[in-house]
Amino acid sequence: MENQKPIRIVGVPMDLGASRRGTDMGPSALRIAGLGPALRKMGLEVGRENDIAVPSPESRDPESTQLRFHAEILSTCRELAVSVEKILQEGARPLVLGGDHSIALGTVSGVASYFREKDENIGLLWFDAHGDMNLPDTSPSGNIHGMPLAHLIGRGDDELASIGGFKGKIKPENVALIGVRDIDKNERNIIRESGIHIYTMRDIDERGMAGVAKEALEVMNAGTAGFHLSFDVDGLDPSVAPGSGTLVAGGVSFREAHLLLEHCADSGTMVSMEVVELNPVIDNGNETAERVIQLIQSAFGLAIL
């Protein structure tokens, strides 16, 4: 079972993919709130932590208006992919702390590369208020944190889509996008045509999180070696997690999120996880980080009884 493997934490203090500064402090916020001790208290082994060095936006020129900070994000994600793949090769589970959601280009590429060497595929749970399926020519902002999922299924910019030396890190039919409630106009058709499975807040309201979680796990585990969990803090309702720069009202409740992550843990097939878009600059006394740690504990197997 994946639940028994040690955890290796990697911090990626990057906010190059977003418009608002502050997500670069997300890894520190989680560490200050006690992430490592909380996992060890569960009896889990937490190995040596590592960070990926990231340049500040102020020190660089965005260059492109369609792909802002393309070179810097590409370089960072390539390094992250190598780090994540090495953790898996050493028999541990990566827990990556962001940073904005563009870091998923590196995390998922590393996980997919590891399993590709074993002739296996992985599934992907993308928990997010947004679709993150924009392409360079459809993005209204040019911010890469709104594009990673499209690139991970092989679309968009060739270099971003080819991190690790191959395109199509995840098959669309093995992707479950949960919590969506804010999609850009030109992004809608991309999502509809992509073949991914999408569960909006309406689906959660009508079917309940338990039903959505069970179906999503079937989607992600169908013919795969397991799944990666990409957890965007803005998927939560702002009343639960005010510390994110991309807040959208009407999100997933604290208890619903716990239930989803408890199902992930129960499945025993979560091979890796990342947490993104935590912005302590606009948080209330680091309460978002404290709540997110509780959710991470659920994902790694903490149960009420």
Active site residue 130: yes
Per the residue annotation, which of 24, 85, 232, 274 is the catalytic one? 232
Active site residue 128: yes
Active site residue 132: yes
Rounded to whole angstroms, the Cα distance separating 140 from 238 reads: 23
Rounded to whole angstroms, the Cα distance separating 177 from 179 reads: 7
Per the residue annotation, which of 70, 85, 100, 145 is the catalytic one? 145
Per the residue annotation, which of 72, 128, 283, 290 is the catalytic one? 128
Per the residue annotation, which of 100, 274, 277, 290 is the catalytic one? 277
Per the residue annotation, which of 100, 234, 237, 256 is the catalytic one? 234
Active site residue 90: no
Q: Give the total residue count for the chain.
A: 305
* Token pair recorded at residue 195: 């073949």
Cα angle 119, 123, 124; round to 5? 140
Rounded to whole angstroms, the Cα distance separating 124 from 137 reads: 25
CB atoms within 10 A of CB 86: 15
Query: DSSP labels for 134-193?
Result: --TTT-SS--GGGSHHHHHTT-S-HHHHTTTS-S-SS-GGGEEEEEE-B--TTHHHHHHH
What CA–CA distances, in Å, run from 19 to 84, 242, 279? 26, 17, 12
Rounded to whole angstroms, the Cα distance separating 226 from 217 reads: 9
168 dihedral zone (left: phi>0; alpha: psi -120 to 50; beta):
left
CB atoms within 10 A of CB 255: 10
CB atoms within 10 A of CB 195: 12
Per the residue annotation, which of 70, 130, 151, 263 is the catalytic one? 130
Active site residue 61: no
Rounded to whole angstroms, the Cα distance separating 53 from 36 reads: 20
Catalytic positions, written as ranges: 101, 128, 130, 132, 145, 232, 234, 277
